[in-house]
Every structure is written in structure tokens, then in C-alpha cells.
Amino acid sequence: MRTLLLLLALAAPAAALADGELPGAEATVPADLPPPPAPPPSASPAPSAPSLPRLGLEVDLGVPDGAVVALVYRPVQVLRLSAGPAWNYLGFGLRVGATVAPFRWAVSPTLSADYGHFFDADARFIADRSSGVPAEVRPLLEKVSYDYLGGQLGLEIGSPRGLAFFLRGGIAYVWTTVRGTSQALRSSSSGQAVVSVSDPRLRATIPTLDLGVLYFF
């Protein structure tokens, strides 16, 4: 206990000195004293990498994304968020995504995740053409929309602060619910049968591929 009190007694003036105050001392500096010397220059900090531009634009083409023009935002150096409209020949959609680019190399690997939604589009023309799609499926193609969630590994070639080209490949989980009823007349050993299929739901995982260009302002 005595040791503790001694320590406190020693520490109090030291703390006051550190604050530039002493008990009973004036806060002003006497005029005849020379100004305190400038602090010695400390060791200069290691030069940090210049920060990367935060905003950019991405244009890419792929499956199942279609053609996408997206605004890109970099909240931190290694992460990019993107969002923009998409078009897949049948109709329009939206895509949002995130890309991790941990390296600033001329050729650098990336990891991306995307979610996309394509709005209802009339795809009946596919059945009207000789595309191999059975005519009985035509009613199911009146309103075609789908969603997808994808993960991709990619390579970017170019500058992370300017123009870069990229190629990404991966896998996407795609799902859709088709509204409508398809009817077909079939013959079998049971006789003639009318087969109706209503509101089918499709989900699948498919390989994905994206090719595009990035430009940061």
C-alpha cells in the first residue's frame, strides 16, 4: 500500500509535466527563453499504395447475364460492387454483383458473385421458328422470366485504376416459374391421351462465362 502511494505521488507531477503544467507554475513561457527546438524529424512512414479510383463502368457479355452495363463502386480497395441493367435478347433485367480483386497486378485473379433477374418477356417466337422447340410448348413461352445467382473466378488484364479486360467463368443457379398451360395430344397403347402441363418450375445449375471490360474514372 505504501509503495502504491509512493508511486502515485511520483506519477502526479510527471503527469502534470506531460500536460505542460506544474503546480503553481504559470502557463506562459518567459520571454527570455529561446523557443523550444523543433522536434526532430521522425522516420518517414513507408509510402502507402495510392488509393484506387472508386467509380467505374463495366460492360460485359455472357451467359446467363446477357449484355450488361453496370456502374461499379469500390468501397474498399479489394472489393467492387456493381449494379446495372441487362438485356438477353428476349428482354431486360437487372444485375447486381460483388467482385473481390485482392491483387493489383497487370494480370490479376478475381472472385465474383452476381444476382440477376430478367423480367417477363414474350419468347413465343422461338416456337414459331424451326428451332426444335415443340409447338405445344408455345403457350408456356408467353411470359418468360428468370433469376440467377452465380459465382465466378476470373482473370483481369489491365490497370486496376483505368482500363481492364476480364474473362470470368463459374457456375450459376438459375430458377424460373413459367405461367401457363401446354397441351399435347399423344397416342399410346392406352389410346389417345391429352396431356396438359401447367405452371412448371425449372431450376438448374449451369456453367457461366462472362467477357467484358472495366473502366475506372
Partner 1 sequence: MRRLLLGLPVLALLAGCGGLLFAELEVPSVTVKLVDQAFPATPTGSDLVTEVRYDLGAQLPSITQPNVKYVLRLTGLELDLTSTSNVADFGGVQEVRIEAIPPAGSPLAPVELVSYLKPPPPADQNPTSIVATGQTNVDLAPYLVAGQLTLRVTAKGSLPTSPWNASVLGSFFLKLTLDYGDVVKP
Specify whether the CB–CB gap between 210 and 166 falls below 8 A: yes
Q: Which of residues 27-66 bind partner 1 (CB under 8 A)?
A: none
User: Between 122 and 141, how does the x/- string for binding to partner 1 read (CB under 8 A)?
Assistant: --------------------
Q: Determine if 2 is a binding residue for partner 1 (CB under 8 A).
A: no
Stretch that binds partner 1, among 30-38, 82-90, 182-190, 208-216 (CB under 8 A): 182-190
Given the complex with partner 1, which of 8 and 194 has the nearer CB atom? 194
167 grid coordinates:
474473362
Where is 196: in which H helix or E strand?
strand 191-198
Q: Which of residues 90-119 bind partner 1 (CB under 8 A)?
A: 100, 102, 111, 113
To which H or E segment does residue 216 belong? strand 201-216
Task: Pick the stretch among 22-30, 63-71, 154-162, 192-200 that binds partner 1 (CB under 8 A).
Answer: 192-200
For residue 213, the tally of other CB atoms under 10 A from its CB is 15
Nearest to 64 by CA among 165, 212, 205, 185: 205
In the complex, least distance from residue 113 CB atom to partner 1, rounded to whole angstroms: 5
Q: Which one of 71, 73, 186, 217 is in contact with partner 1 (CB under 8 A)?
A: 186
C-alpha cell of residue 86: 441487362
Question: Burial, 77: exposed, middle or buried (Cβ in 10 Å; 0-12, 13-18, 19+)?
Answer: middle
Residues near partner 1, by CB under 8 A:
100, 102, 111, 113, 151, 171, 173, 186-207
